[in-house]
Amino acid sequence: MQTTHMFQELLVEQFVVGPLNNNLYVLSTEDHTDALLIDATGDDPELLRRLVERGVTHALITHGHHDHVGGVAELRRRGVQVLVSEGDAPLLAGYDATVVDKEVIRIGDIFVQVLVTPGHTPGSICIAVEGHHVLFTGDTLFPGGPGATSFPGGDFPAIVRSLECLFGMFDDGTVVFPGHGAATTIGAEAGSLDDWVARGW
């Protein structure tokens, strides 16, 4: 399934793929051919081929869990530069560069900022698009709560701190695109943080 979202000149193409209904996002602008892929589920090599032909030059991985990185080897074989946080780099069999907190990456006319938000994994990141009220949260934030922290490397207090930072940084109208499921907004989620802490997940 493919959905297209427009934010002024920013084009966000969303693909829902794989048995866990992962969201892949392609970011581009009308004025530039280079595009950025967020995450790399590898269930469909034909889709990955189309994404490269679409203009994807870089893939930014939100975290190293298997359902987000299965396409990394094929993308790299096709010349795509794969970027991952220093904290989650050990979870990948291969990558091209690591990124750090607050690092700004330019792809064509798009500038994105990396935000390290540990909790779901030690090196989970969120990705903000400069000049737009858009945030890609991987498995850090979903509609209705944080990502799971029961996996090895998960840390519930850490993900709560990460969410506190996100809710303090972004206004209520910021659109949140998660790694699975529907989009939401910061405003729709921020008021529930205390409830999530009380329930413990």
Closest C-alpha to 167, from 151, 145, 149: 145
pTM: predicted TM-score of the whole model, two decimal places? 0.96
State the Cα–Cα distance between residues 114 and 100, nearest whole angstrom: 7
Range of the structural domain that residue 181 is part of: 2-199
The domain that contains 6 carries what CATH number? 3.60.15.10
Residue 138, Cβ neighbours under 10 Å: how many?
Answer: 27
Residue 171, Cβ neighbours under 10 Å: how many?
Answer: 11
Count of domains observed in the chain: 1
- At 33 the pLDDT is 85
Provide the residue-wise pLDDT of the chain in tens; the chain has 201 residues: 889 999 989 999 999 999 999 999 999 998 778 999 999 998 788 899 999 999 999 999 999 999 999 999 999 999 999 999 999 999 999 999 999 999 999 999 999 999 999 999 999 999 999 999 999 999 999 999 999 999 999 999 999 999 999 999 999 999 999 999 999 999 999 999 999 999 999
State the Cα–Cα distance between residues 99 and 84, nearest whole angstrom: 6
